[in-house]
Structure 1
Amino acid sequence: MPEQNAATERLGIVLETADPERAWNALRLGITAVENGHEVSVFLLGEGVEAEGVTDGQFDVRDRMEAFVDGGGDLQACGTCLEIRNSEESEYCPMSTMSDLLEIVTSSDRVLTIG
């Protein structure tokens, strides 16, 4: 098991795909970072807001979202992107704004975009 960093870093992950394997892996990274003492925010943007509802027998995205949030991760979804898709926020994916994404990007030590 990797050593936990002495200094906490903030990691921002922008997820722009509903591809089950990519979304699943992005959330696994977030979970691992949280477990190693980092502050992590995942922002679902564009097709990424659909990731929670994607069902795939091999990649349980919703389960990884729940584990990420339950472990202390911050998960947000673009409100405009949800509205375009006639979707609503959920327990694990609250509706957020571009200002929230800007806060994640400007306050994070590192930002990773997965599309």
Structure 2
Amino acid sequence: MKLGIILETKEFEKAWNAFRFANTALKKGHEVHVFLMGEAVECENLTHETFDVAGQIKTYSEAGGEILACGTCLRVRNLSTTDVCPISTMVDCLDMVEWADKVVTF
């Protein structure tokens, strides 16, 4: 199955669970793409003693998972693209939704 995940929060536990879900899906053989929107574009470096979002993102990326980050949301926060989170557009988000068999939002 092709899963699209849209993450719109940098709330530690929700972001951590989104990437735990993505990692679980990859391990079960599904294709997974994640689109970061709004404050979620800040997730790449989130660490917490209980909810290690950055660690889950690293695991996901190393397993071949794709992450896209809203370019407008990055620019509003004076952030730029990274190797893990390339700048993307709403067209890319729509393409992901059209590609996916199922879309999950967090």
Query: TM-score under structure 1 normalisation?
Result: 0.88
Structure-2 residue corresponding to 1:96:
88
Q: CA deviation at 1:28?
A: 0.6
Deviation per residue, 1:21-64 (Å, 9 max, x gap): 11011001001101111000010000110112323121111111
- The higher radius of gyration belongs to 1
Instruction: State the AA in 2 paired with 1:41.
Output: H
Match of 1:10 among 2, 6, 18: 2
RMSD, aligned α-carbons: 0.9
**In structure 2, distance between residues paired with 1:49 and 1:101:** 13
Number of corresponding residues: 106
Q: Calculate percent identity across the aligned residue pairs.
A: 48
Instruction: State the AA in 2 paired with 1:76.
Output: L
5+ residue gaps, structure 1, are 1-8
Structure-1 residue corresponding to 2:52:
60
**In structure 1, distance between residues paired with 2:53 and 2:82:** 14
Structure-1 residue corresponding to 2:76:
84
Q: CA deviation at 1:94?
A: 1.0
**In structure 2, distance between residues paired with 1:60 and 1:91:** 19
**In structure 2, distance between residues paired with 1:85 and 1:67:** 25
Query: TM-score under structure 2 normalisation?
Result: 0.95
Structure-2 residue corresponding to 1:32:
24
Deviation per residue, 1:75-110 (Å, 9 max, x gap): 111011000000011121111111110110011000
Instruction: State the AA in 2 paired with 1:81.
Output: C
